[in-house]
């Protein structure tokens, strides 16, 4: 008891009161408890003060760039693999192939985001290094196993599930670790890392096209697995500098005297913390992003086949190179621009990219010349760059650095279902209509709706800040008016407050 008393005396007033309330079974009725403890804000400020802004952080940036590039370079080039898969399954009816083959790539992309909330737990518990290297190993196994089968159903598991889950566990820590080494340049390094996928997206289509025609799909999968094998060792550079949001040793001590069921329930509640959803602005932002991605991945899957049918004997892989090139420009530019935009106004970059992305998707069926498709793809890549590179900085602005891992994890998890469902739904429409026009028209609607939703986030944030300032100003005036003898019984100020 004496040790506990000494510890309590050293606590800040907010934490001391919170500890007393927890020991007494909660705060008394009628007494409001602040939503955020002041000590937690100080802890975040002290942690952010230790960020080195460079040094070994640039090695981490290089490793994260390879991670982002290898994962999304392969995912964004799935249009080439999509055609190779259809050629390998020529015995099946064409109408079924359009729908069922699209599920292979959609599952992989969807699993990257679906696993994100779980990845946040592993990242907080095990650290960025172990989580990312383990995920890269799983992705390597998935790609390697995909080369030893020709069954579409087995590839749903090896490529769609194993490779997709592995990418999720490898990729998300690469975003979180950047906040451990950079603060002022966080937007810039996110742009560099995001730009890595663009370099890979520019090179891989030609590589996949060449390998697919010379060594076949099976050996192509084996070559791609080498990228993830390299990432296993690069992930070892992800050494965390900031403390985890939860001290798991103390949490174990707190529940030591409880039953196993209570301990299990308590640990689940701690791991699956929903605290980020207490912020209205984060909820709206996450829902807007999830709405947008219903049509986001449709062009990446169906664009190559669409051009192959409409424009015969054209080098269709050039389109993916164009998307990758301008996406890299967009990611680098948006990172630099985002650093110069204060606070949540960064979100307007995403709004603009969503609006343009929706319009461009609807323009694809209107293109009557191959050159016009190239122009549309150039702007599609630019929008993609502005969308992706702003995800992490906006999450840090919304919830702070200590909860950024969970914030990123949950928003990516919400993206998984619409992103997985988009290309197969488009494939079903293509089967029914016999044309790609309706699929691309409808794919442009979700980004437009998502942009309108995100417009409200900065407005709500500013309104909440003004309300908070008014409350603080009112408290200060009240404290200033209550001086010396005015606190005695019978004082007008005291009576008015009571």
pLDDT of 224-268, one tens digit each? 999 999 999 999 999 887 776 555 555 555 555 566 666 666 666
d(CA 319, CA 299): 11
> pLDDT value at position 145?
93
d(CA 422, CA 450): 15
* 136: confidence class by pLDDT, cuts 50, 70, 90: very high
Statement: residue 395 has pLDDT above 50? yes
> pLDDT value at position 229?
94
* 46: confidence class by pLDDT, cuts 50, 70, 90: low
- pLDDT higher at 265 or 307: 307
* 11: confidence class by pLDDT, cuts 50, 70, 90: very low
Statement: residue 27 has pLDDT above 60? no
| Residue pair 450/371 in contact by the 8 Å Cβ criterion | no
Statement: residue 60 has pLDDT above 80? yes
| Residue pair 258/321 in contact by the 8 Å Cβ criterion | no
Listed in sequence order, the residues at least 6 apart from 422 whose beta carbon sits closer than 8 Å to its beta carbon are 106, 293, 294, 295, 296, 297, 298, 443
DSSP state at residue 368 = -
> Measured between alpha carbons, how far is residue 249 from residues 32, 255, 256, 267, 272 in Å?
30, 10, 11, 12, 17
Torsion of CA 55, 57, 62, 67, to 10 degrees: 170
Each residue of 69-84: b (16+ CB within 10 Å) or e? bbbbbbbbbbbbbbbb
> pLDDT value at position 105?
81
Lookup: tokens for 67: 């991670």
| Residue pair 126/235 in contact by the 8 Å Cβ criterion | no
Each residue of 417-456: b (16+ CB within 10 Å) or e? ebbbebbbbbbebbeeeeebbebbbbbbebbbbbbebbbe
> pLDDT value at position 19?
36
Torsion of CA 59, 65, 67, 72, to 10 degrees: 180
Closest Cα to residue 377, out of 208, 201, 212, 224? 201
> pLDDT value at position 321?
80
pLDDT of 326-344, one tens digit each? 877 877 777 678 777 877 7
Mean pLDDT (whole number) for 81-96: 68
d(CA 427, CA 430): 5
Statement: residue 490 has pLDDT above 50? no
* 35: confidence class by pLDDT, cuts 50, 70, 90: very low
> pLDDT value at position 259?
64
Mean pLDDT (whole number) for 8-30: 39
Domain boundaries along the sequence of the chain: 50-244+273-462
> What's the CATH architecture for 50-244+273-462?
Up-down Bundle (1.20)
d(CA 180, CA 238): 10
Q: At what angle do helices 57-76 and 216-234 cross, to 10 degrees?
A: 160
Lowest mean pLDDT: which of 33-37, 40-44, 77-81, 356-360? 33-37
Statement: residue 90 has pLDDT above 90? no
Q: What percent of the chain has pLDDT above 70? A: 75
> pLDDT value at position 10?
39
Lowest mean pLDDT: which of 34-38, 118-122, 398-402, 422-426? 34-38
| Residue pair 119/167 in contact by the 8 Å Cβ criterion | no
Statement: residue 28 has pLDDT above 50? no
* 38: confidence class by pLDDT, cuts 50, 70, 90: very low
What's the CA angle centered on 269, arms 266 and 272, to 5 degrees? Answer: 145
Lowest mean pLDDT: which of 8-22, 153-167, 299-313, 473-487? 8-22
> pLDDT value at position 233?
94
What's the CA angle centered on 256, arms 250 and 259, to 5 degrees? Answer: 140
| Residue pair 182/53 in contact by the 8 Å Cβ criterion | yes
Statement: residue 34 has pLDDT above 50? no
> pLDDT value at position 93?
47
d(CA 401, CA 367): 44
d(CA 326, CA 344): 25
Q: What is the mean pLDDT of the chain?
A: 76
Statement: residue 16 has pLDDT above 50? no
> pLDDT value at position 246?
58
Q: What percent of the chain has pLDDT above 90? A: 12
- pLDDT higher at 421 or 2: 421
| Residue pair 85/213 in contact by the 8 Å Cβ criterion | no
Statement: residue 156 has pLDDT above 70? yes
> pLDDT value at position 14?
41
pLDDT of 281-299, one tens digit each? 888 888 888 888 888 878 8
Statement: residue 171 has pLDDT above 80? yes
- pLDDT higher at 159 or 26: 159
């Amino acid at each position: 008891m004496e040790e506990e008393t000494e510890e309590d005396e050293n606590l800040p007033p907010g934490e001391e009161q919170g500890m007393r309330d927890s020991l007494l079974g909660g705060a008394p009725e009628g007494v409001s408890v602040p939503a955020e403890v002041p000590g937690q804000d100080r802890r975040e400020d002290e942690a952010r003060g230790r960020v080195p802004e460079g040094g070994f952080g640039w090695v981490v940036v290089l490793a994260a760039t390879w991670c982002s590039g290898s994962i999304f370079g392969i995912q964004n080039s799935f249009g080439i693999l999509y055609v190779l898969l259809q050629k390998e399954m020529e015995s099946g009816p064409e109408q079924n192939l359009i729908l069922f083959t699209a599920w292979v790539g959609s599952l992989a992309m969807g699993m990257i985001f679906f696993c994100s909330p779980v990845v946040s737990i592993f990242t907080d518990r095990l650290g960025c290094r172990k989580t990312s290297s383990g995920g890269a190993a799983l992705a390597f196994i998935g790609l390697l196993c995909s080369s030893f089968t020709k069954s579409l159903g087995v590839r749903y598991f090896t490529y769609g599930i194993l490779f997709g889950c592995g990418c999720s566990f490898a990729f998300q820590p690469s975003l979180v670790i950047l906040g451990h080494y950079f603060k002022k340049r966080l937007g810039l390094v996110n742009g560099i890392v995001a730009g890595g996928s663009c370099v890979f997206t520019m090179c891989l289509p030609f590589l996949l096209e060449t390998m697919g025609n010379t060594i076949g799909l099976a050996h192509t999968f084996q070559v791609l697995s080498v990228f993830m094998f390299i990432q296993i060792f690069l992930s070892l550079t992800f050494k965390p500098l900031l403390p985890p949001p939860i001290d798991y040793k103390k949490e174990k001590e707190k529940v030591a005297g409880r039953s196993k069921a209570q301990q299990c329930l308590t640990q689940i509640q701690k791991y699956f913390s929903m605290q980020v959803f207490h912020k209205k602005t984060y909820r709206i932002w996450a829902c807007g992003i999830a709405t947008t991605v219903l049509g986001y991945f449709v062009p990446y899957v169906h664009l190559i086949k669409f051009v192959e049918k409409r424009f015969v004997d054209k080098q269709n892989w050039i389109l993916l190179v164009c998307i990758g090139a301008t996406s890299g420009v967009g990611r680098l530019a948006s990172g630099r621009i985002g650093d110069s935009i204060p606070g949540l106004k960064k979100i307007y970059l995403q709004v603009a990219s969503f609006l343009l992305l929706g319009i461009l998707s609807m323009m694809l069926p209107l293109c009557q010349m191959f050159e016009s498709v190239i122009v549309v793809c150039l702007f599609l890549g630019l929008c993609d760059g502005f969308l992706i590179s702003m995800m992490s900085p906006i999450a840090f602005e919304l919830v702070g650095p200590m909860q950024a891992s969970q914030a990123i994890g949950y928003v990516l998890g919400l993206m998984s279902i619409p992103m997985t469902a988009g290309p197969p739904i488009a494939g079903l429409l293509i089967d029914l209509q016999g044309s790609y026009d309706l699929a691309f028209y409808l794919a442009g609607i979700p980004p437009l709706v998502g942009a309108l939703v995100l417009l409200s986030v900065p407005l709500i944030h500013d309104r909440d800040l003004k309300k908070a300032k008014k409350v603080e100003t009112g408290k200060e005036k009240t404290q200033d008016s209550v001086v010396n003898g005015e606190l005695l019984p019978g004082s007008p100020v005291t009576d008015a407050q009571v």
